[in-house]
A and B are shown apart, each in its own frame.
Chain A
């Protein structure tokens, strides 16, 4: 069941109606049943439920055990056991193919004919999300920042709350506990705001992302045909495709939760306005970043091993350098984990992991140098043009890293990079280019116009969002304007959306992770 599908629409409508008409004390049960149905329907396998139970049952019982032993050795043992069980399963289901691929690679290097077959669909929808959610649940109980859930069914709801199973965001137990199990009256204003957010998300996915995806897919699937400006445009378009797809899915998820009365943490905060890659990752997939910082980066940085490393480095390189080495080492581990979480293929590890780490380290190291050079050359850093340059630079760096993320192999990524440097910009001056290109890329001139207008709308909304909640401002307008904009948005989706025959609206990029 995809987020943008008639089945999901009906599913949500039934869930919402049932949720608000039954006695409020049973509302959480409706959510639990919907989540189980969602999990099962998505994978059409009882194995999904079994897989979820294998995470739920140990997490629940170990959570109960840890609660009385917060910050103790005994508690730590239970915690480690819980993490091993959850991570072990995640590795088994999701990353088994990486091990198989690696084994095959070793066999190849050793000139052995032995080849292990890859396992298809071992990891089912939701496992990446609920595994990390349950790890955070156990750690938070151990740290004493939250209490364990006594009711295993309520615990199951926390783990499998259906809107977040496909694309996140990551939730923490203490943040959602009250909303998830609480009683909610239907609230018209809240529902209206949720509805607007869903519409905006669908618009981003169907009108922008799918359209950009058509072009990107063509270029990435026919690499030998395209080069130069075609490849550059695909490389530049992919981050936007990814953003509108992923943030659009999050908007739909947040909108549904808002109608239900369940507040979820934001996952995006205008990432393409970031002036550095470090800032970018504070604004992009925020909840994953927070999760990794809270449960990997800081514990690692504060660990005895890192403190030991710090001491050793202090003696050898001095205080200033010694401070940086454990920091960068912890960052490297975290970024590799981000790459692994995204799917584990080397392309992900490089694209969404190591390259991001390198950019951040370079930013950190070069920032003082750049400031010095700028001041010597008289370049002002607090002016619009300089900030624009920084924003563009950040986008380009991210787009570059995403070549690896999008490519099917490292060789393919390198091939794409090489083909970006083929000079054929002059074809843009040829009038024929504008007639031939639509036929090759599958986007005609009408699509391009729709895309440009939609991107302008997106940009304006994002600019407005920098100054506050756009929906709040929108709802304060007169009814004619409000309804006019809503109808425009709805019909833009219905008419200009890429769905139905000839389109694959089901391709959600982040669903795979």
Chain B
């Protein structure tokens, strides 16, 4: 009997050490850090807005600046070329940990093919914590692709891919990623080509069947859960066909009583296609600042958002803003306050 308990103890300790080692090894081998992962680090019920979407979100909205100006907190729940089919599942995920006043859904990809690149799906699902919602997200997002059902397992158990990351291991894998800046990724570069970003068409084109069904599904979820949502069409260079289809999506959303802002139509923001983009899809730090100044003010004026400034529980928002200003100085050799002052004046 004594030997039996000794053996049970031995096996338990062995497995415990194994699990600890396994956890740490996978943390090291996890190559990418996304805004979605950082979302989990935010204290419970401290986020006022959750902003969901593709890279257009994290290159345009400076949440730390919005906090500094108005005191509300915005989490950027974005990832590169995020398929619109992810939006519902990310809202569900956010609901588990936060109680935001408002969700903002970037609908720049509402009319794009839902057969997304595998890596773009992975950036969402790999970063999500294990839950039924994650499994549903995987199943639904992959259902739009040609991935064989038997290969869904590779998405459910991410280590089936990431175990292989040892060959590209760097020193940075062993360090905690501190480049958060509350989700904002500023770029000082200016696109060599002028970006055609005006939204000058009112024509519509029917959405593809799958996209429309996906949009209806999201609207149904929002309505049935009584969630406050603002839809934003980001400013970038669109193909004519996508513009027309997006116009259809906007019509559908507005006819269902949702508020939609099409940034490309709002001239007062002052986005200049010749200097405010670093590529045809993304605003640079100048364009991002103009956009943030506009949207931050709009949100403050139209929604009942709290002001947390001065509250020590929100000190990370102050420190990230300071770090962001330092980053700007490092990147451009200019002072961020000067930039802010310049565009604030234009806005006034």
Contact = CB atoms under 8 A, between A and B. Distances in A.
Interface in B143-165: 151, 153-154, 157, 159-161, 163-164
Interface string B1-42: 001100100000010011001100100010000000000000
Contact of B164 (A188, A491, A502): A502
Determine the interface band of chain A, counting residues with CB < 8 A from chain B. 10 to 19
Interface string A1-20: 00000100000000000000
Given A495-B25, A501-B154, A490 B163 contact: no
Contact of B21 (A6, A444, A487, A501): A487
A235 B194 CA distance: 57
Interface string A469-501: 000000000000001001100110011110111
Interface in A89-123: none
A423 interface: no
A495 B161 contact: no
Contacts, number: 45
B167 A501 contact: no
B163 A497 contact: yes
A447 B4 CA distance: 42
A509 to B, nearest CB: 21
Contacts of A495: 25, 29, 163, 166
A500 B25 contact: no
A446 interface: yes
Contacts of B161: 500-502
Interface of A is mostly: helix
A154 to B, nearest CB: 31
Interface string B29-67: 100000000000000000000000000000000000000
Contacts of B18: 487, 490
Contacts of B154: 500-501
Interface in A7-46: none
Contacts of B3: 188
B340 to A, nearest CB: 45
Interface in A407-444: 444
Contact of B160 (A491, A496, A499): A499
Contact of A494 (B7, B163, B167): B163
A500 B14 contact: no
Contacts of A502: 161, 164
Contacts of B164: 500-502
Contact of A496 (B151, B153, B159, B166): B166
A501 to B, nearest CB: 4
Given A446-B167, A487-B17, A494-B163, A501 B25 contact: no
A444 B167 contact: yes
Contact of A500 (B7, B22, B163, B166): B163
A244 to B, nearest CB: 19
A188 B7 CA distance: 7
Contacts of A483: 14, 17
A342 to B, nearest CB: 28
A501 B151 contact: yes
A446 B3 CA distance: 44
A213 to B, nearest CB: 16
A502 B25 CA distance: 21
Q: Which of A444, A447, A491, A495 has the most CB of B within 10 A?
A: A495
Nearest to A503: B164
A494 B14 contact: no
Given A487-B17, A487-B21, A501 B166 contact: no
Given A188-B7, A491-B25, A495-B29, 7 more contacts: A6-B153, A444-B167, A490-B18, A497-B163, A500-B154, A501-B154, A502-B164
14 contacts: A6-B153, A446-B167, A483-B14, A487-B21, A491-B22, A491-B25, A494-B22, A494-B163, A495-B29, A500-B154, A500-B157, A500-B160, A500-B161, A500-B164
